[in-house]
Amino acid sequence: MTRALILGGTADARLLAAEVARARIDAVYSYGGRTRAPADQPLPTRVGGFGGVSGLADYIRRERITHVIDATHPFAAEMSRHAIEACAQTGTPLIALERAPWTKAPGDIWIEVADVTAAAAALPKTPAKVFLAIGRQHIAPFAAKPQHAYTLRFVDPPEAPLPFAANVIVSRGPFTFDGELAMMRARSIAWIVARNSGGDGARAKIDAARMLGLPVIMIARPKLPERLRVESVAEIMQWLGHRACLGA
């Protein structure tokens, strides 16, 4: 009997959960717990961490998980590494549902950097209006450049004080090209800092930056050990041994 564990939290994971539920596959959807009001899922859900590699391995054994699907955000590197190690310890098949990264298009002005610290260092010394599109867990390094007027966008209002003064937008994506264009114009954004998440849900800001001729400091994805990786829900369903019937 198949019993799958979906490590979720992305739009792709939500699509996968819907397809798995439609196929009547026994599965559990796991949230990291960073979002206070996550979207409803058609599968049984659990919220919060597992307690590291050993905790995840124990959960896999206790719940008799036969397949693990890592559909976390491409920058959720710690969870992905834990999944790789826990699946190796338990002998559980693992696959990653990982969208392709964005690639530079004609007209893009990208400054490509390795991590968030390098992104903060790449900002100019002179004050500028900066859109930090990187999530609240990664903003601390930008306190080193408090001269900038930062705009942040979170799914939930911040519970703790921010490490620097900023304008906060509370909104849940996906975002449209027209909406991103209007936001950047209204706030006179001059620089954008983004993670190379890939996919369509967050791409609108990159397209809007190209239209406006704005520089984007693009943070590369963290390096992960080799693992089986696919880019579509249909491929996951085939891996689980079920015919994909998206849209049925």
Q: Please list the alpha-helical segments (H only) found in 27-143.
A: 52-62, 77-90, 116-122
Q: Kindly report the average pLDDT of the chain as a whole number.
A: 92
Distance CA 91, CA 41 (A): 28
Do 35 and 11 form a contact (C-beta atoms < 8 A)? no
SS3 198: coil
SS3 205: helix
Domain boundaries, the chain: 4-100+223-240, 110-219
In the numeric block, which tokens belong to residue 181?
């264009």
**Residue whose entry in the numeric block shows the structure tokens 């999944």:** 83
Region 212-227: what's the mean pLDDT?
96
Distance CA 8, CA 46 (A): 10
> Which pLDDT belongs to residue 158?
84
- What's the length of the chain? 248
**Residue whose entry in the numeric block shows the structure tokens 């304008």:** 167
Share of the chain above pLDDT 90, in %: 80
Q: How confident is the model at residue 246 (pLDDT cuts 50, 70, 90)?
A: very low
CATH class given for the domain over 110-219: alpha beta
Least confidently predicted of 24-38, 83-97, 215-229: 24-38
Share of the chain above pLDDT 70, in %: 95
Of the two residues 231 and 202, the one the predictor is more confident about is: 231
- pLDDT tens figures, 64-73: 999 999 999 9
Q: pTM for the whole thing? A: 0.86
Region 223-227: what's the mean pLDDT?
93
Q: Please list the alpha-helical segments (H only) found in 63-213.
A: 77-90, 116-122, 177-186, 204-212
Distance CA 65, CA 92 (A): 8
DSSP, residue by residue, 30-56: EE-S-SSSPPP-SS-EEES--SHHHHH
CATH class given for the domain over 4-100+223-240: alpha beta
**How many helices (H) and strands (E) would you count in the chain?**
7, 12
Q: How confident is the model at residue 9 (pLDDT cuts 50, 70, 90)?
A: confident
Do 128 and 149 form a contact (C-beta atoms < 8 A)? yes
